[in-house]
Amino acid sequence: MLTLTVLYDARCDLCCRIRAWLQSQPKYVELAFLPAGTDAARRRFPHLNHQATLTELTLVSSRGEVYRGAKAWLMCLWALREYRAWSLRLASPELMPLARRLIARVSSQRFKLGHYRWLLRRET
């Protein structure tokens, strides 16, 4: 797997801040970012439900595998050098239900959380 393309909601402050954080991290696998629901996303991935990509994080690997929701978030962590072990741990049968609930909770509150500037503060 050479690249993971992350379809993210560019209208969401929290999503944009997480994108910036992901871009700044050392990686094992390159992450490319594409705003979800755009014409560019539709042209590149015509097989996806593009309305759903606006509500659920979606990743597409360079091999064509599609990851959504909690699995997509864990794949983002898996691509990062400092967080791969965490992704594997959270993907375990014991912790995956917890990861799904946590990610669903944050996702359902993402626009509200985006208004809390301290969550989005960039390190200087």
Residue-wise pLDDT tens digits, 61-85: 999 999 998 899 999 999 999 999 9
Cβ atoms of 88 and 78 closer than 8 Å? yes
Cα atoms found within 13 Å of the Cα of residue 4, Cβ hemisphere only: 27
pLDDT exceeds 90 at position 12:
no
Q: Kindly state the tokens that stand for 95.
A: 């912790």
Rounded to an integer, what distance in angstroms lies between the CA atom of residue 86 and that of residue 121?
A: 23
Q: Which two tokens stand for residue 41?
A: 């996303």
Q: Model pTM? A: 0.79
Sorting pLDDT into bands at 50, 70 and 90, what band is 124? very low
Q: Percent of the chain having pLDDT more than 70?
A: 79
**Is the confidence at residue 111, as pLDDT, over 60?**
no
